[in-house]
Structure 1
Amino acid sequence: MYPLFFDYLIVGGGSSGCVMANRLSADGSQVLLVEAGPDFAPDAIPDDILDGNPTRAYYNTRYQWPSLTATIVQNVSRHTHYEQARLIGGGSSINAQVANRGAPADYDDWASGGAAGWDWESVLPFFRRLESDLDFSNEYHGNDGPLPITRVGKAEWSGFICAVSEAYQSRGIPFRPDFNGEFGDGHSVVPLTNRNRRRVSAAMAYLPASVRARPHLKILPETTVVRLISSGRQITGVETESKTGQKSYFAETVILCAGAIHSPALLMRSGIGPAGQLSKLGIAIVANLDGVGKNLQEHPGVAISAYLKPNDRMAPNATGYIQMHARYSSGHEGCPSTDMAISALAKSAWHPIGKRLGTLNFWVNRSFSTGTVSLKNSSHATEPEVNFNMLSDNRDADRLKKAFRFVAQLLEHKAVAPVALDPFPSTWTGRAKRISSYNRINYGITGVVAALMDSSSRLRRGIIKSVITDGRSIADLLNSDELLDRFIRQNVFGNFHPTSTCRMGSSEDLNSVTDASGRVHRLAGVRVADASVMPFCPRANTNIPTIMIAEKMSDAILNER
C-alpha cells in the first residue's frame, strides 16, 4: 500500500522525473514518482532497450503514447503519429542516446530573456554533475556523475562515414574530438549515454537498485495523472487512474516532469492556462496563464539517403546508431552561428533495406518557428491538439532548403560519390513509418526488396523511384525552387525534441509560465521541471539539457528546503 501524502509528488518518470526522484529522496523526503507507462526493474530491462542500437526500442509501440498525433506544418494536409516515450526513463530509454549540450550562447540567451540564473556559467556545473565522461577529464566535463558518456571511435566508422568526414573537411567543417568541449562549427564522433555498447537510460543511471531500495521512495507505474487537485491557488495533490481504479495522492509539492506536450496538457485540464480556451471546454479556471501550451518548438529536418555497398555499411558490432554528428553555420541573416546540424548514419533502420542505406539527416538546430499544445476537450483520455507550425518563420524554411542543396553537394564530393550510390530525397511518411514497425512481416518484406536492390543497379534505381520515393529525384528538386519548397513542407519532420510550452521567465511576461526555479506563476505547491520550461530549444539533442534542468532545479528545491 502506498501512503497518501508525500513531500514531493513527481508526475512523469522520463529523464527529468528520474533525476528528481533520485535527488529529492536522497535526504529522506517522502517521494512518489508516477509514470503512465511500464517500469522495469534494473535486473529486468528488455533487451531492445539495452541494445546500443536504438532502432528496435524506438519502433516498439509498447513504449510510446499510442494515440498522440501532431500537425507538422500548418495548412499542409499531414497529421501524423508523433512518437513520444511512455515508459520509465522516457525518451532516454528509446532515443539515439546522443549526449549533446548545446551552445553556451543558448543558455546566456535564456538568462538574458528572463530565466535568471540559467546562463552558461551557471548551468555548466550541472552538466558536469550529471555525467561520468569516460573519454575526457577537463574543465568541461564531470567524471563521477550517474550517467556515463562515451563516444563512437573513429576506428568504427564505416566507409560512408569516413567519406563524408573527408567532404566536411573540404567544406571548412573541421574535425573536433570533443563535441561537448569548445562550441563551434565542426564534425565529431558522437557522445553517447552508453557503456560497453549498451544503453544507459536516465532510469538506469538515476534509479538503480540502491536508490529504489530507499523506503521513502515509491514508484507507481502504469498510472495516469488525470488532473491536479487545488484548493484556491494552492496545488495539493493529483487524481490518478490505473487498471485498479481511481485514487488521489497529496503532497507538499507537485513537480510536473511529463514533457513539453503532456505537462501543459495536464495544467490546462486542471484549470491552469488560457482562460478563454479553457472556459469554452467547461473547465473551471484556477489560474489564467496565457502562456501554457504556447511557444512549442522542435528541430525541423529532412534527409537524403543513398545505397551503400557492403564494405561501406555500418559493421554489425559497431557502437551506437548515429556515427558522426556535424554542426555548421548557415550564414543566414538574423540567425546565430553554428545554427545547423547533420547526423550521419551508415545504417538507416533495423530492417534489411535500412541496413543498406546511408543517410544524412539534417535540421535547423536553432529554429524560430513556434506552435501550440491545446486541449480538444476536458477528458484525460483524449490526447491534446499538437500543432508544431514548423517553417512558419521563413528563416527556418529558407535554411532548410539551403541545407538540402548543401547536403546534395556533399554527396557529389569525390570521396562520397563512389560510396553513396543513387542518392535520393528520403521521407518519414506513413509508408516509411509502417514498414519500420518492428515485426516479422516487415522484416520479410524488406528482405525481399533489399535482395532486389542488391541484384542490379537498374532494378535498384527503379525501386527507389517507384517504391521508396514519390518519383522526385534530387535533381528535380534542385532545379525547381517551387518543387523543393513543396517537398520540404510536405516532408519536414521533427527530431522528437519538443520544448518550451511552459517556458521560464518573468511573471510580467505574459508568455512565460514558470519562474527560474520552475514554480508556476500565481500558484503555490506546483513546479515544472522538464523540457517544457526551456525558453527556446537549444542547439542540441534535448535529453542531456533536460537532465541538466532537473539537476539544477532539484538542487534549488533542496537548498530552499
Structure 2
Amino acid sequence: MVQKPFDVVIVGGGTAGCVLANRLTADGNTRVLLLEAGRPDYWWDLPIQLPIAMGMPVGDKHHDWLYESEPEPGLQNRRLHHPRGKGIGGSSAINGMMYQRGHPTDFDRWGVESGTPEWDYAHCLPYFRRLENCLSDVDESVRGRGGPHTLQRGPAEGPIFEAFLSAAEQAGHKLLPDLNGTEQEGFAPLDQGVRRGRRESAARSYLGPARKRPNLEVRSRTMVTRLHVEGGRVVGVRYRQGTGGDTVVPAREVILCAGAIGSPQLLQLSGIGAARELEALGLRVVHDLPGVGESLQDHLAVHLQHLCREPVSMAPIRRKVHWPRVVAEALLFGRGPGSRNPMQAGGFARSGPEESHPDLMYLLAPLAMNSTEQSVPLDEHGYQLHVGVMRSQARGSVKITSRDPARHPAILLNFLTEPEDRRRWVEAVRIGRELLAQPALQHLDGGERIPGPEVRSDNEVISWVTRTAKVGLHLACSARMGTDDGAVVDPSTLRVRGLDGLRIVDAAVMPSLTNANTYGPVMMLAEKAADMILGNTALAPEYPGTAPGRLTVAGPDAVRRPAGTGRAPA
C-alpha cells in the first residue's frame, strides 16, 4: 500500500526525533510524519514518568530494546546489556535525566574532526542556550532560560551530600556554581531534566506541545523496514505495523533519528554501507559507504559502594510502605525523594596532569543500590560513587547479521583493549577512593563494600573493572559526520554522503563522544539541524560575555520553505 506523500518523514521518536518534529512543524506548512517502533509515552506509565523509578524501565521488554553486545574481549568476554529506550521519547524516557553539555573542548574537537568550524563550541553554545529552561540561578551569558527543556538543579541536601562536597574540596577539587557553565573541572550539584516532579523527556518538552498541530502525524509501534531509494535519492520509507504487510510512504526528505544502533542498522538493511559486508548477506548494494556502523563509542562505568554508619541515607525509600507517599509528593506537589534522580551531586576530574581537560566523571548517590557483584540488604544504609571514564581509545561497530529488520545487529565496543584506557581506569578508581576517604566523610563511613579491601593493586583494579563494569547508555559515532573517507554524513548539511533526500540527526553523527552524558548534546545537535533543514539563518557563534546574534549560513542543500518561515517556537 502506498500512502499520500509527506514533506518530511522522521524515523525514530527518540530525543532528536521529538526535537525535529516540534521545530519542523512550527511553520504550519511542512507536513511531517514521525514513525516510532516502540510504544506511546503514556502519562500513567510511572516507570518512565517518575524520576525515582528510573531503574525500572531498564531491562524491561516493554521499555527497553534489550540490545546485547557481542563478547567483549577486553571485559573477560562478557556480553553487555545496552539499554535503549523503546518508545516515544527514546532513551530520554529511560535515562538518568542528568543534563550535561560536555566540555567546550569536546566541541572544538568536533570542529576539527568534522572538517568545519560550524560544530565548534562557539557555534554550538547558542543552540544549547536555545533549548534550555534553567530554573536555577545561572550565568545567562552561557545558560538559557525560556527554552523548551526544563532543567532543575539537584538540591543535594542532607548529611551525605554535604560531606561529599566538602570531601571533594579537601581532596583538592574546585567547588563550582554550575558544571554546565564556563568550567567543568570540579564538583557541584547536578542539573536534571525534571519538571514538577516528573521526568522531562524530549517527548514531554518538545513533542507534547506540537502534537495538536494538523501538519504533524505521530505513529508508534511502527517499524521502518527499509528506505525506498530511486536513482540515488531516498524517496520514502517502508514500514510495518503489527502483522500487516509493508506500507510505503513517499517523502520529499527522510531523516533518520533512530540512534547509534537503529540508524546504521536501517542504512545497512537498505543496502547502504560496506559493499562487501552487504553482499555477504545477500543484500543488493544501493550505495557503498564503508563508514556506516563503524567508530561506535560509549562510556563505561563502575560503582564504589560504602556502608553508612548513621541512618541518613535514602535506604528507607526502598521499603514499599513508603511508596504511596513518595509517588504522591512527586506527582502532586513536585517535591520529595521521588521527584529526582538520587545522584544529585558530582563532578569531573583529570586522570593525570598530561590531560588538557577532565576525562573522568563522578556521581554520588546517598543510597547503596543493588549490585550484580553483591547485594546490599534493603534496610542497610550506604552511599555509592558512580565512576566513569569519559575518553577512550576504544572504537567498535554496529553490523547487521541478517536481512530481518526485527533481528538485533551485532554490537561491539572493544572496551579496555588499549593500554591508555587501562591507565585511565586505574586512576579513575584511585581518585574515587581518595574522594571517599577524606576526613569530611569519616563520621559516616562504614567501610568500602564494593569493590572491597581485597581489590588494591593496579592489576586487581583492572580485573575488577573488566569483571563488573557496565555501559553508560551513551552510544554514539556510528555514522559520524566528516569529510574523510570514513565519514557518513556531510557536516554542513547532515545529509548522507552520496545520496539525496536523506539526513541523519542523532548521536550516530557525532564525530567523537562528549565528556558527559549525551542527551543534552543530542538535543543541541537536533536544534542546530532544524535550522539547517528549514533553511533558517543559523544562530551566530557566541563567546561568553558577548551579545548573541544570528549569522546566515543557509545553503543550496536546505529544504526551502515559503517566505516568512522563521525559527520555530517551543
Same fold per superposition (TM over 0.5): yes
> Does structure 1 residue 195 correspond to structure 2 residue 195?
yes
The corresponding residue for 1:512 is 487
The corresponding residue for 2:548 is none
The corresponding residue for 2:420 is 395
CA contact (8 A) 1:160 1:420 kept: no
1:511 CA drift (Å):
1.5
Q: 1:375 aligns with which of 392, 400, 419?
A: 400
Cα distance change, pair 66–338 in 1 and its aligned pair in 2 (3 A): closer
The corresponding residue for 1:120 is 121
1:100 CA drift (Å):
0.5
1:165 CA drift (Å):
1.4
> Does structure 1 residue 490 correspond to structure 2 residue 492?
no
Cα distance change, pair 115–38 in 1 and its aligned pair in 2 (3 A): farther
Report the 3-state secondary structure (helix = DSSP H, G, I; strand = E; otherwise coil) of the residue aligned with 1:278.
helix
Cα distance change, pair 346–47 in 1 and its aligned pair in 2 (3 A): same
CA contact (8 A) 2:307 2:368 kept: no
**Distance in structure 1 (CA, Å) of the matches to 2:411 and 2:501:** 27
The corresponding residue for 1:38 is 39
TM-score by length of 1: 0.86
Report the 3-state secondary structure (helix = DSSP H, G, I; strand = E; otherwise coil) of the residue aligned with 1:415.
helix
**Amino acid paired to 1:510:** D
The corresponding residue for 1:461 is none
CA deviation string 1:95-132 (max 9, x = no partner): 11111101111111111122421011101111011111
Cα distance change, pair 550–418 in 1 and its aligned pair in 2 (3 A): same
**Amino acid paired to 2:197:** R
Report the 3-state secondary structure (helix = DSSP H, G, I; strand = E; otherwise coil) of the residue aligned with 2:311.
helix
Report the 3-state secondary structure (helix = DSSP H, G, I; strand = E; otherwise coil) of the residue aligned with 1:167.
helix
1:33 CA drift (Å):
0.4
Report 1:145-544 matches (<5 A): 145-154=147-156, 156=157, 158-208=158-208, 210-245=209-244, 246-309=246-309, 311-314=311-314, 316=317, 317-318=336-337, 319-331=340-352, 333=354, 335-349=355-369, 353=378, 356-425=381-450, 473=452, 475-478=453-456, 480-506=457-483, 509-516=484-491, 517-544=493-520
CA deviation string 1:135-181 (max 9, x = no partner): 12511111111110111124x2x322222212210112121121111
The corresponding residue for 1:17 is 17
**Amino acid paired to 1:482:** N
Cα RMSD (Å): 2.1
**Distance in structure 1 (CA, Å) of the matches to 2:68 and 2:115:** 30
CA deviation string 1:15-49 (max 9, x = no partner): 000001111111221101000111135xx341222
Q: Which moved more, 1:546-555 or 1:235-244?
A: 235-244
> Does structure 1 residue 139 correspond to structure 2 residue 141?
yes
Cα distance change, pair 205–184 in 1 and its aligned pair in 2 (3 A): closer
Cα distance change, pair 70–128 in 1 and its aligned pair in 2 (3 A): farther
CA contact (8 A) 1:130 1:551 kept: yes
1:275 CA drift (Å):
1.0
CA contact (8 A) 1:179 1:188 kept: yes
Report the 3-state secondary structure (helix = DSSP H, G, I; strand = E; otherwise coil) of the residue aligned with 1:295.
strand
Report the 3-state secondary structure (helix = DSSP H, G, I; strand = E; otherwise coil) of the residue aligned with 2:160.
helix
Report the 3-state secondary structure (helix = DSSP H, G, I; strand = E; otherwise coil) of the residue aligned with 2:297.
coil
Unaligned 5+ segments in structure 2 are 318-335, 371-375, 536-557, 561-570
CA deviation string 1:480-529 (max 9, x = no partner): 333222222222221110010010101xx121100112100111111100
CA contact (8 A) 1:4 1:248 kept: no
Cα distance change, pair 354–184 in 1 and its aligned pair in 2 (3 A): farther
**Distance in structure 1 (CA, Å) of the matches to 2:227 and 2:41:** 26
**Distance in structure 1 (CA, Å) of the matches to 2:73 and 2:450:** 19
Report the 3-state secondary structure (helix = DSSP H, G, I; strand = E; otherwise coil) of the residue aligned with 2:357.
coil
Report the 3-state secondary structure (helix = DSSP H, G, I; strand = E; otherwise coil) of the residue aligned with 2:165.
helix
Report the 3-state secondary structure (helix = DSSP H, G, I; strand = E; otherwise coil) of the residue aligned with 2:471.
coil
1:392 CA drift (Å):
2.2
Cα distance change, pair 149–407 in 1 and its aligned pair in 2 (3 A): same
1:84 CA drift (Å):
1.0
> Does structure 1 residue 61 correspond to structure 2 residue 61?
yes
CA deviation string 1:410-442 (max 9, x = no partner): 33222223323231335xxxxxxxxxxxxxxxx
1:197 CA drift (Å):
2.7
Q: Which moved more, 1:363-372 or 1:411-420?
A: 411-420
CA contact (8 A) 2:309 2:443 kept: no
1:75 CA drift (Å):
7.0
CA contact (8 A) 1:71 1:389 kept: no
1:184 CA drift (Å):
3.2
**Distance in structure 2 (CA, Å) of the matches to 1:552 and 1:308:** 46
CA contact (8 A) 1:295 1:500 kept: yes
Report the 3-state secondary structure (helix = DSSP H, G, I; strand = E; otherwise coil) of the residue aligned with 2:282.
coil
**Distance in structure 2 (CA, Å) of the matches to 1:73 and 1:346:** 34
Q: Which moved more, 1:272-281 or 1:111-120?
A: 111-120
**Amino acid paired to 1:373:** V
Which structure 1 residue ranges, 4+ long, deviate > 6 Å from structure 2? none
Cα distance change, pair 205–73 in 1 and its aligned pair in 2 (3 A): farther
CA contact (8 A) 2:293 2:479 kept: yes
1:325 CA drift (Å):
1.6
**Distance in structure 1 (CA, Å) of the matches to 2:149 and 2:2:** 29
The corresponding residue for 2:564 is none
TM-score by length of 2: 0.85
Report the 3-state secondary structure (helix = DSSP H, G, I; strand = E; otherwise coil) of the residue aligned with 1:138.
coil
**Amino acid paired to 2:477:** S
1:2 CA drift (Å):
10
CA contact (8 A) 1:70 1:387 kept: yes
**Amino acid paired to 2:143:** H
CA contact (8 A) 1:298 1:498 kept: yes
**Distance in structure 2 (CA, Å) of the matches to 1:354 and 1:6:** 56
1:404 CA drift (Å):
1.1
CA contact (8 A) 1:313 1:358 kept: yes
**Distance in structure 1 (CA, Å) of the matches to 2:534 and 2:460:** 55
Cα distance change, pair 165–14 in 1 and its aligned pair in 2 (3 A): same
CA contact (8 A) 1:160 1:308 kept: no
Cα distance change, pair 199–86 in 1 and its aligned pair in 2 (3 A): same
Report the 3-state secondary structure (helix = DSSP H, G, I; strand = E; otherwise coil) of the residue aligned with 2:187.
strand
CA deviation string 1:341-369 (max 9, x = no partner): 10111124489639744111111122221
CA contact (8 A) 1:330 1:337 kept: no
**Amino acid paired to 2:204:** M
Cα distance change, pair 303–40 in 1 and its aligned pair in 2 (3 A): closer
Unaligned 5+ segments in structure 1 are 427-472
1:227 CA drift (Å):
1.0
The corresponding residue for 1:548 is 524
Percent identical pairs in the alignment equals 33
Report the 3-state secondary structure (helix = DSSP H, G, I; strand = E; otherwise coil) of the residue aligned with 1:537.
coil
